[in-house]
Structure 1
Amino acid sequence: MSAVPSTTPTDSSGRPVRLGLRENWPQFTLLVIVNVCVGGLVGLERTTVPLIGADTFHLTSDLAVFSFIIAFGLTKAVTNLAAGALTARFRRKQLLTAGWLIGVPVPFALAWAPSWGWIVAANVLLGLNQGLAWSMTVNMKIDLVGPARRGLATGLNEAAGYTAVGVTALLTGYLATSYGLRPVPELIGVVFVAAGLALTLVVRDTAAHVVLELAQHAAPLPTGEDTGLKATFARTSWRDRSLRGASQAGLVNNLNDGLTWGVFPLLFTDHGIGLAAVGLIKGLYPILWGLGQILTGHLADRVGRKPLIVTGMLVQAAGFVLALVLLDRPLLAGIASAIALGLGTAMVYPTLIASISDHAHPAWRANALGTYRFWRDAGYAAGALVAGILADAVGLEATVIAAAALTAVSGLLAARWITERRTGTR
Structure 2
Amino acid sequence: MLNEHKLIKQCIDQHNADDQSHQINQMGAIYSSAQVTLIAAAGTDANFGLPGISREFSYPESCSVTKNLCLVNASQSVTRSVSASTWYSRAWTLQEGYLSKRRLFFVEHGIDYICDEDLQDEDLRGGLIASELAASLPSKMNAWDRANHMMRQFAGRSLTYEGDALNAIIGALGTLEGVDHTEGVTIQRSNSSETSSTYMALNWCHDLPCSRREGFPSWSPLGWRGEIDYLDYQTTISSGCSLEVWHDGGFRHVSDAFGKLSEGHRAHRPTQERYLRLNTTVVMLDFVYLDHEPGIPSGFYVRVPYTSNLDLFVLPFWDADDMRQGSIQLPCAVAVRRRTLMQKTWRCEQESQLLIMRQRSTHYERVGCFNLHWSHRHIYAREKKGRIFPLDFTYGNPLLEYGDGTYWKKNGEERTFLLG
> TM tier, shorter chain?
under 0.3
Instruction: Compute the TM-score of the two structures, normalised by the length of structure 1.
Output: 0.23
Larger Rg: 2
Structure with the higher fraction of residues in strand conformation = 2
